Structure 1
Amino acid sequence: MTEQGSKLFGLTSAEVAERVADGRVNHDTDVKTKSIWQILAAHAFTLFNGVNLAMALFISFTGQYRNLFFLFIVGANLVIGVFQEIRAKHMVDKLSIMTQKQVAVIREGAEVAIAPSELVIDDLMRLSHGDQVPADSEVVSGNVYCDESLLTGESVPVAKAPGSELFSGSFIESGSLVARVTKVGRDGYAAKINAEAKYVKDVKSEILATLKAIIRLGTMVLVPLGIGLFVRTILMDGSTVNEAILSTTSAVLGMIPQGLVLLTSSVLAIATTRLGSRGVLVQQSYCVETLARVDTLCLDKTGTITSGEMEVAHVSCAPGSTDAEAVAAFAAIAAANASDANETAKALLAFAGDCEGLRAEGTGKKDPEPQIARAVAFSSARKYSGCVLADGRSLVMGAAQFVLGESRTPEADALCGGFEDIERRMVVCECDGFTDDDGIVGEPLLIACVGIRDKIRDSAPETMSYFIDQGVELRVISGDDPRTVSAIARLAGVPRADLMVDASTLDTPQKLEEAAAKYRVFGRVTPQQKRELVCALHRLGRTVAMTGDGVNDVLALREADCSVSMASGSAAARNVSEIVLADNDFSHMPEVVAEGRRSINNLQRSASLFLVKTVFTAVLALICIILPPYPFIPIQMSLISTTVIGIPSFVLALEPNKERVSGNFLANVLSRSLPASCSIIVFLLLELVLGRLLGHDFDEISTVCMIITIVVGLALIFRISQPLTALRRALIVSMAALAVVACTVFGSFFLVVALPADVAVATAVFCVLAVMLFDRLSARFERNADSNRLLIAAAEKIESGVPVPRAALPRDERKRG
């Protein structure tokens, strides 16, 4: 790099080529999304798919291809999962491209625009207002203010002068400069934090964990059961190899809930599609469930509670000045520097425009645009800006100590007596003029004080109120001064916002864990402390959601149970988050929670239908090793799955449901499914024993068992559909009609035979008794579940100090005293 005279020359082509050859290029600065092949592999190579593929190969050996119908379910599940993740990947990649901007560099004395990834060590970058710093660098010339909130979480602009260090990921808020690149690629500040945040994070989902556990358990059980059933059937029952294979695969497939896996994928895919239409990008579909279960929400101040913009909160006029004069003065200064307007200038221009609009409504006249003779740009060294009007008046605006001097600062402080702590205070003055190097001439005459603050999102109070009503505790975590964060949190409606702490004092793990339980507002928090706070909340038994948009939030986002970022934030934050708010509007969060509740509550209800088959099939397979034959073949299990499981579960899973998600997913499902499973097992066993004693053939036993199973399944649909609606009545009638048509018109396809009169009567009696047993068991399970819910609710009230009346306790507990 050379410098000719006073002109910056930059690197030569040869020097650039040398650095590229050495690998000193700004590559690999962001966390990358998974490739399409990685996505395909993650969804294809699973235990679930492996088991089903093995069963398909066995059935293919028999030549009975109609029994391969279950592969459509497996294929549909694979397609939905892959499509959803590839769609999310493309959306995130598109956001990254849209937010990437070329950078101006000086090479061989000329200014050229290149991609940030083409920067090399010692490149001279020219950056100005609004530009993001693409690589760590050192200021060569110019004075600016930098916004480092994406890195540190602190929204106060930082002054940068020649010799200062610029961090990649920060923004130039005002001014312009030339900086020399000092670090590239993974050596940069932002890239080092990114390196700790991998795109792939563990999915934290009760439903997914339950599905995996069922598949693992089923796989472990099906091997010995399958072998035992196959050997028993072929050696001791006189069946052919093909018959033994079909009988065994039918039992094995019944133990693996293919339909439940597909239903879960479908319901979550529909939820993510609905949310996508509202500007919410869901990258990991299972996070919809997690967010529905969240009891603690950690909020980043900047970009979540505040919009990232500034607004004028107060204007206080000095004696002898009017509001109109004050607004006109700072509007003129802001307009003079509009070409390099920072957030402060934008707020002043917007406020002046609103005031002018109000005056125009009242008088019907619009104020003329101020005529500017000279603009005095803001400088981080001077800490003020100003202008000279065409009529000769000179105006200046900035911090009181730099405009008025230390001796007159108390005068401005007195004028700002009604301002809040969160407001940035500036004075507007008239002076005699400016020197050639923009120094103030004469003693400034104070016109007014202006209070500017971070703009709180209009929807923030309503959003906070929603989460409070849902019993979700709110924590605000920021790199700003805790007093400032507390004041903003209070205005946004965060409860107990006065419980604040300076995280720089939390120098031991014990202090941090105690603070996580006690405080609601955390200031001066480092990126590592944000992650440690989330971990501390986990140790307290909390389910934590985290919002953030900066590199400083990445570590905590990765650790949270559910992470949410803004599209306007850093690429690293977007990539590591399960949910991205494409329009940067946090008010969508209640919609996400509501969609999650609808999906999860309905899934819990529908999943009980699937686990009925899983439980009774596994027990029946064990029974049939001792008492053959196994009464079903795969095509019959497909009919049962369709009429009393697949279609009903899908319809019920898409209904509106706003109830709070409570309890364990598996426990809730089993409390509904076990009564039906027990009833089916009892009467299928009875049929197997009586059928064998009375000399019924296999087709008759199979037909009776299928009818009993379908009737009890319809009874379960009726019970979980309470209260009945027109749709639910139509569903029950339609499924009963479908079963009748399948068993009569298409009886030969499903190997259903006409029953003798005595067997038909016995079957009807069995069905009535099975339904009665199911009703008795269900009532008992529901009473136990209600008692548990009352106990949990009472315990929560006692823990929070609320007295619990005796009548609110379960009856058994009241008897115990």
Structure 2
Amino acid sequence: MKKTNLKTGLTSEEIKTAKKNIVHDNLSKSYRSIFLQHTFTFFNIVNFILAALVFWTGSYRNMLFMGVVLSNMVIGIVQEIRSKKVLDHLALIHQEQELVLRNGKEETIPITQIVQGDLLILRAGDQIPCDGQIVEGSIECSEAMLTGESDSIEKEVGNRVLSGSFVISGKAMMQVEQVGEDTYIHSILKEAKRNKRYPSQLRDAIQTIIRICTFSIIPVGILLFVKQYFLSAQTLQETILSTVAALIGMIPEGLVILTSIALAISSMKLAKQNVLVQELYCTETLARVNILCLDKTGTITQGKMSVLDAEQIAPCDPKQIIANMYAALSDDNSTAQALREWADLQPNEKALSAKPFTSANKCAQVQFASGTFVCGAYTFMTDHPDPNIVAKIQESAKQGKRVLALAKKEDDQIEVLALINIQDRLRKDIRQVFQFFQKQDVQVKIISGDDPVTVAALANQAGVPGKGIDMSKVSAEELPEVVMHNSIFGRVKPEQKKAMILALKKAGNTVAMSGDGVNDVMALKEADCSIAMGSGSQAARSIASLILLNDQFEALPSILDQGRCVINNIQRTASLFLVKTIFSFILSILTIFVLQEYPFQPIQLTLISSLAIGFPSFVLTLEPDYHRVTGNFLRTVFSKAVPGALCVSLCVITTYIVQHLIPMNQAQFSTVCTLLAGVCSLCVLYKTCIPLTPLRFILVIVMSSIFTICVLFLKKVFFLTNLTTPLFILTLAETACIPFFLWIFYVWIQEWNNARKKKREMKKPR
């Protein structure tokens, strides 16, 4: 590659033709893809086809079911577009700037405007945005985010540097060689993109139900049409309407919209707390979490260091010495910032030379006319440390402090002048947050790359008990056992984070993790629920299912509560929807083999769905319920739905049998079945509302009243007809038996569940 002039950098003409540092990725979906994804689903296509058939018959009232379908589609589109806008805006706000040499002048530009051949000026604290080669100066880099190796690497003229590395110390100029999608970091992020969906029992259960129902309706629909049109001598219009009614009843479209609305409302509430929900179902996953893995820095601490005090060992003015040293040093890490803030004095001596902090010597060194001073880790300053000073440092470490030794160096001799105690600043409300998680049966695990003794001291102050485990001494074979039985970990390498998450998941736990760096990306991806800080890297924000826009860790309890509230209520009320799905399937099979015609029209099922299922479920879903989500979603809801479905099916079969004794036409048969199905669904609603609260009691009364009004005064709208006296008595008799039938079926299902539970327990190894 052509060498760029080191005195001028690129010229304006060269910049125009050079390749820019732009990555064309799909971390943020386009508006077109969002629209297509939510519009052209198998579920929507089936409903549109059914609506078109009803439209062809001219019975427009029976198309009312499309309101649910369209609402669900719009909610999904609006929610994802809202998330896209917030995420794109966040990416723009946090776009990093870089210092470059162009046209003989230094200027600061966004990283997307860097071009191939540019000369970047690298300083301590910078993250390198492109791949290139050092052409002037020298720096010390950390490639831990890329390779997992914690040791820093010296980079001198001619050495290659990779994007994603951090400059620890020094100053250098690099020439950009690879930009955009050609960089090494892009190859990592390409593998780390969120190309998998996070686990969700709720989503998987609903998709399973929808998949079974939608694929069942094709053969069932064909058989129903053939039976009613060719064998029962119905008109084409009547056949289409009754077939569509059966197929619509088999699809629990209300369950989909209920879930979408509940999760969308939850995400909007969290958005008001500056929490971005990138995936609707992640709130459910968090509601099931029983282990929360957290990094120390930026989570239990504020990510900032502060000097607590300085213990003077020899006569000196430690603040003035530190002020003089750090006026000459280029170090800009959190420790250097804390020291500059503490030693807020004007320098009174000019440095002759300065060596910044490096991970190799763990010290910064500055030479003045009055002598040479060093500041850093005491044990790295001398081969013969003073036991008394070492003891003081160890005692401070047990209290969560880091100790820097300030010393004067003469030849190879070190005279310690002072011990400076610094510490990460704990978040003010961290103890209350951890107490909340403990009460909610969520186990907290602290993960850090720092010294385990220091990490344990801070964690203990924050309310997490236990001693720190040094993960540098833990083998891959020992890791699963160590992770399961401990809560505080230090010296954790980036690659160990992913291994720890996988080990916890393999043990049957639901794991959430928070992180903010590129090195956290693969671990975040493996976690059941991933949480990123808004100030973190773009890669971490893109992979995460939740983003704390203001780094407000204290918002996690609210997120957990929102998830538990929504999921507990959906799990409780989903059975209402499956009642209609199950009895529609049963009645469709009965119609094919026994009944002459399907007993309902589409609008009659819409009436039942709206009053006994849809609206009540929406109200119940918004009730507070913060208990931890447990149990299998499908097994729970089916055990509650089957009794109601069997009761409706039994009522229809009974009415069909009595039809041979009490004459009734198809309209009267449909009316009786609609009344019985409505009453049965309202009884299931009552059972779901137990224990009755004032709100639930009012809900049952209002829904029952509206159903009664529709049946009495809106007969024509819902294709209902007047009943003869014998049919009216029959309907009353069957209505009176419904509570008894439901009770029998509920007892039977409960006993069956208990028997299965005992059988599973007997199979468990003792």
Using structure 2 for the length normalisation, give the TM-score: 0.89
Question: What secondary structure does 1:420 align onto?
Answer: helix
Query: Partner residue of 2:543?
Result: 576
Q: Which moved more, 1:699-708 or 1:448-457?
A: 448-457
Output the CA distance in 2 between the equivalents of 1:767 and 1:337.
Answer: 90
Query: Partner residue of 1:565?
Result: 532
Name structure 1 gaps, 5 residues minimum: 353-368, 432-438, 800-817
The 8 Å contact of residues 620 and 681 in structure 1, kept in 2 or not, is answered as yes
The 8 Å contact of residues 527 and 555 in structure 1, kept in 2 or not, is answered as no
Structure 1 residue 263 corresponds to structure 2 residue 258: yes
Output the CA distance in 1 between the equivalents of 2:67 and 2:734.
Answer: 33
2:29 alignment partner AA: K
2:581 pairs with 614, 617, 642, which one? 614
Matches within 5 A, 1:765-784: 765-782=733-750
Structure 1 residue 588 corresponds to structure 2 residue 555: yes
Output the CA distance in 2 between the equivalents of 1:114 and 1:540.
Answer: 48
Q: CA deviation at 1:159?
A: 6.6
Q: CA deviation at 1:696?
A: 0.5
Question: What secondary structure does 1:196 align onto?
Answer: helix
Q: CA deviation at 1:162?
A: 5.3
Question: What secondary structure does 1:302 align onto?
Answer: helix
1:760 pairs with 728, 746, 755, which one? 728
Q: Which moved more, 1:661-670 or 1:182-191?
A: 182-191
Q: Which moved more, 1:777-786 or 1:299-308?
A: 777-786
Query: Partner residue of 2:437?
Result: 467
Distance 1:338 1:279, change over 3 A: farther
Q: CA deviation at 1:660?
A: 1.6
1:712 pairs with 680, 687, 704, which one? 680
1:667 pairs with 625, 629, 635, which one? 635
Distance 1:68 1:30, change over 3 A: closer
Query: Residue deviations 1:511-563, cap 9 Å, x none?
Result: 55555555555555555554344334333333222222111121222222221
Q: CA deviation at 1:731?
A: 0.7
2:663 pairs with 692, 695, 701, which one? 695
Matches within 5 A, 1:357-396: 370-374=345-349, 376=351, 379-380=356-357, 383-384=363-364, 396=373
2:404 pairs with 426, 432, 438, which one? 426
1:179 pairs with 164, 170, 174, which one? 174
Structure 1 residue 104 corresponds to structure 2 residue 99: yes
2:336 pairs with 342, 345, 348, which one? 345
Q: CA deviation at 1:126?
A: 1.4
Structure 1 residue 302 corresponds to structure 2 residue 332: no
1:276 alignment partner AA: A
The 8 Å contact of residues 297 and 473 in structure 1, kept in 2 or not, is answered as yes
Distance 1:177 1:792, change over 3 A: farther
Distance 1:562 1:370, change over 3 A: closer
Matches within 5 A, 1:165-564: 166-172=161-167, 176-313=171-308, 315-318=310-313, 328-329=319-320, 332-333=323-324, 336=327, 341-348=332-339, 370-374=345-349, 376=351, 379-380=356-357, 383-384=363-364, 396=373, 398-399=375-376, 412-413=389-390, 415-420=392-397, 423-428=401-406, 446-480=416-450, 485=455, 488-502=458-472, 505-506=475-476, 513=480, 517=484, 520=487, 527-564=494-531
Output the CA distance in 1 between the equivalents of 2:187 and 2:157.
Answer: 25
Matches within 5 A, 1:129-148: 129-142=124-137
The 8 Å contact of residues 397 and 453 in structure 2, kept in 1 or not, is answered as no
Query: Residue deviations 1:572-616, cap 9 Å, x none?
Result: 111111111111122322221211110111001111110000001
1:215 alignment partner AA: I
Q: CA deviation at 1:371?
A: 4.2
2:439 alignment partner AA: D
1:263 alignment partner AA: L
The 8 Å contact of residues 324 and 349 in structure 2, kept in 1 or not, is answered as no
Structure 1 residue 742 corresponds to structure 2 residue 717: no
Query: Partner residue of 1:657?
Result: 625
Q: Which moved more, 1:750-759 or 1:619-628?
A: 750-759
Distance 1:2 1:665, change over 3 A: closer
Q: CA deviation at 1:409?
A: 6.0
Query: Partner residue of 1:34?
Result: 29
2:521 alignment partner AA: V
2:60 pairs with 57, 62, 65, which one? 65
1:757 alignment partner AA: T
Q: CA deviation at 1:102?
A: 3.0
1:678 pairs with 625, 646, 658, which one? 646
Output the CA distance in 2 between the equivalents of 1:386 and 1:32.
Answer: 46
Matches within 5 A, 1:617-628: 617-625=584-592, 626-628=594-596
Q: Which moved more, 1:200-209 or 1:343-352?
A: 343-352
2:651 alignment partner AA: F
Q: CA deviation at 1:420?
A: 0.6
Distance 1:620 1:659, change over 3 A: same
Question: What secondary structure does 1:10 align onto?
Answer: coil
Q: CA deviation at 1:295?
A: 2.7
The 8 Å contact of residues 298 and 475 in structure 1, kept in 2 or not, is answered as yes
Distance 1:536 1:414, change over 3 A: closer
Output the CA distance in 2 between the equivalents of 1:503 and 1:255.
Answer: 58
Output the CA distance in 1 between the equivalents of 2:82 and 2:331.
Answer: 38
Query: Partner residue of 1:435?
Result: none
Q: CA deviation at 1:497?
A: 4.4
The 8 Å contact of residues 154 and 524 in structure 1, kept in 2 or not, is answered as no
The 8 Å contact of residues 612 and 681 in structure 2, kept in 1 or not, is answered as yes
Output the CA distance in 1 between the equivalents of 2:4 and 2:40.
Answer: 58
Q: CA deviation at 1:705?
A: 1.1
Q: CA deviation at 1:178?
A: 2.2
The 8 Å contact of residues 155 and 480 in structure 1, kept in 2 or not, is answered as no
The 8 Å contact of residues 205 and 287 in structure 1, kept in 2 or not, is answered as yes
Name structure 2 gaps, 5 residues minimum: none
Q: CA deviation at 1:372?
A: 3.3
The 8 Å contact of residues 268 and 285 in structure 1, kept in 2 or not, is answered as yes
The 8 Å contact of residues 106 and 112 in structure 1, kept in 2 or not, is answered as yes
The 8 Å contact of residues 718 and 732 in structure 1, kept in 2 or not, is answered as yes
Distance 1:795 1:130, change over 3 A: farther
Distance 1:50 1:561, change over 3 A: same
Output the CA distance in 2 between the equivalents of 1:467 and 1:795.
Answer: 33
Question: What secondary structure does 1:373 align onto?
Answer: coil
Distance 1:29 1:214, change over 3 A: closer
2:348 alignment partner AA: A
Question: What secondary structure does 2:719 align onto?
Answer: coil
Using structure 1 for the length normalisation, give the TM-score: 0.83
Output the CA distance in 2 between the equivalents of 1:660 and 1:313.
Answer: 40
Q: CA deviation at 1:31?
A: 6.3
1:399 alignment partner AA: G
Output the CA distance in 2 between the equivalents of 1:673 and 1:657.
Answer: 21
Query: Residue deviations 1:663-703, cap 9 Å, x none?
Result: 10011111211111111111111012212442211221111
Output the CA distance in 1 between the equivalents of 2:639 and 2:206.
Answer: 17
Question: What secondary structure does 1:418 align onto?
Answer: helix
Question: What secondary structure does 2:618 align onto?
Answer: helix
How many residue pairs get aligned? The number is 758
Output the CA distance in 1 between the equivalents of 2:532 and 2:74.
Answer: 27
Q: Which moved more, 1:650-659 or 1:474-483?
A: 474-483
The 8 Å contact of residues 547 and 564 in structure 1, kept in 2 or not, is answered as yes
1:696 alignment partner AA: M
1:309 alignment partner AA: K
Q: CA deviation at 1:792?
A: 9.6
Output the CA distance in 1 between the equivalents of 2:131 and 2:654.
Answer: 77
Query: Partner residue of 1:811?
Result: none
The 8 Å contact of residues 482 and 521 in structure 1, kept in 2 or not, is answered as yes
The 8 Å contact of residues 225 and 243 in structure 2, kept in 1 or not, is answered as yes
1:127 alignment partner AA: L
Q: Which moved more, 1:79-88 or 1:29-38?
A: 29-38
1:466 alignment partner AA: F
